[in-house]
Amino acid sequence: MSAGVEVKDRTYGGWRRPASPGVGPLKLIPTMVMMAGLGMTLLVSMVAGLWWALGFAMVALLGAGPAVIPFRGRTVYAEWSKSARWRRHQRRGRNMYRSGLAGVTPSGTRSLPGLLAKVKVWEATDAIGRDFALVEIQAAHQWAVVMRVAAQGGALVDSETNDVWVASWGEYLALLGQEGGVVQAAAVVETIPDAGAMLYSHVATQIRDDAPQFARDVAFSAAAELPVDVADTVGYVTLTFTERGLGIDRKGSDQTAAAVAEEVGRRLPGLSVALKDAGASEGRPLSVAQLSRRVREAFDPAVAAELAESEAEGLPIHVEFADAGPSAHDETALSYRHDSGLSRTYEALQVPPGVVRDAHMERLMGPMRTAPRKRVTLLYRPVDAGRTAETVDRDYKSAINRAGRRKGLVHAHDSADLRSARQATEEEADGAGVVSFSVLVTVTVTDDDAFDRACTTIERAGRGARFRLSPVRGAQAAAFAGALGIGLSLPDLSVLPHVAREHI
């Protein structure tokens, strides 16, 4: 680069909430209800008279108010409905779970609870001979693959390289929309405290049998003397497929699993290698044993050190997926206790306004001394390439309507929203993909006294990244399972269909 050339930091942005056609701030379904109410008011005026019609209109307006008033990132009606479901959940005792020999599971195993109860794992092999765990989400007829990745980090990396990595990640998400059958991609960054056993185990697995004794002694001494109580950062990318998108008709359980394994195994090598362009390593699919161990350690953090010590001593480790759940869990409105862990999962109600830089989430994703065990999960839902034009055009028309409904000066937010929608249509015409995304953050402690401090640390980091993080109220167990990043697509497991929820 020639001297005197000023390098401007690249910024990113342009995200916006999905638009729904409606009148004013109302979405499609509330607008339809409002039009029906106007029709009923007109009918009442024709049958009973003007005063009865005015009274009916006043009652209808009072009833419709909570459908518009925002509260905790939702409407008042949505929050009331959520609270009612949680109270019913408590009355039926579904917030408590016991497994094992003294539990409620017939087999006596520590089966996974809640949304994970109907999840099965199959062994499969991809096109280049790698064994991987094929996760079946039976309730949604979906299948998932979990890959472990190692990010290269941003230290000593110039801005041009960072820009290429960000662009390549965008291209990877666009590729998923063109791939067909991919309904969700989860990017998980997990920090795990290491008391020394994990480092010792890693060194033990890297030493060759024919290494000189002096070299072996130096390696093990370094592993024993290096500072402990540090955090290990691990990354995962999970891809979730639908049977219909894969072109597979459900028959018998074994036949369907074999057909899905063949189709996903054929695609997996290309999808895992493509991650290298985005600044990560090639994705390595987790085997059934590795996935089972990861889930077991998530539900019982204290067992992680024990398994690492056994691995360092060369002892075999065998964790079955059917026995990877907690022996007990207790869910409250704002926390989730599972074996030796106490967790709280946050959701991002609002993403950063304006633009951000490539290192914007570094503080939130990086190790924290007061919150050493946490999990940041970004859930992407790629829009199928055949529907991207329709999606951006609908958003553009909605932005035009919002900007045009004001007389005089246009509201600054509406003007910025219109520019963003126009830019999205232009980029989509050039081949860019369209992706919906959400953010979940889970913090876990093994000491109850450290829980409030860890939660405060996460909330401060969220504010520093300009995310509006809020605890998932009344659904902590489901949010914990969704943030694990093993393939659960929460919108597709909801009682209310995803398509209907977008227009409420």
Helix residue ranges per DSSP H, 159-313: 159-179, 197-206, 213-225, 253-273, 288-299, 302-312
256 and 236 share one domain: yes
Q: Who wins on pLDDT, 220 or 372?
A: 372
Ranking 40-54, 235-249, 257-271 by mean pLDDT, the lowest is 40-54
* Cβ–Cβ under 8 Å, residues 325 and 114: no
Q: Return the pLDDT at 291.
A: 96
Handedness of CA 361, 366, 370, 373 (dihedral sign): positive
Average pLDDT, the chain: 84
Q: How far apart are CA 246 and CA 392, in angstroms?
A: 25
Stretch 215-233: mean pLDDT: 74
Q: Determine the structural domain holding residue 137 and report its residue range.
A: 69-385+433-501
Kindly calculate the radius of gyration of the chain based on its CA atoms and give it in whole angstroms: 25
Distances (CA, A) of 125 to 172, 240, 292: 23, 17, 17
59 and 82 share one domain: no
pLDDT at 2 over 50: no
Q: How far apart are CA 440 and CA 94, in angstroms?
A: 23
Q: How far apart are CA 37 and CA 56, in angstroms?
A: 9
Domain boundary among 26, 42, 68: 68
340 and 306 share one domain: yes
Q: How far apart are CA 228 and CA 171, in angstroms?
A: 39
Q: Return the pLDDT at 432.
A: 79
Stretch 411-430: mean pLDDT: 77
Distances (CA, A) of 168 to 145, 174, 175, 216: 21, 10, 10, 40
Q: Return the pLDDT at 242.
A: 93
* Cβ–Cβ under 8 Å, residues 299 and 339: yes
pLDDT at 3 over 60: no
Q: Which two tokens stand for residue 316?
A: 């075999």
Handedness of CA 265, 266, 272, 273 (dihedral sign): positive
Handedness of CA 175, 179, 184, 190 (dihedral sign): negative
Q: How confident is the model at residue 1 (pLDDT cuts 50, 70, 90)?
A: very low
Q: Return the pLDDT at 7.
A: 52
pLDDT at 367 over 80: yes
Domain boundary among 68, 99, 128: 68
Total residue count of the chain as it appears in this document: 504
What does the pLDDT look like over 135-150, one tens digit per residue? 999 999 999 999 999 8
Q: pLDDT > 90: what percent of the chain?
A: 38
442 and 478 share one domain: yes
pLDDT at 250 over 70: yes
307 and 363 share one domain: yes
What does the pLDDT look like over 96-106, one tens digit per residue? 999 887 777 77
What does the pLDDT look like over 37-91, one tens digit per residue? 788 888 888 888 888 888 878 887 777 777 667 666 667 777 777 788 888 888 8
The answer as to whether 268 is a domain residue is yes
Q: Return the pLDDT at 337.
A: 96
101 and 132 share one domain: yes
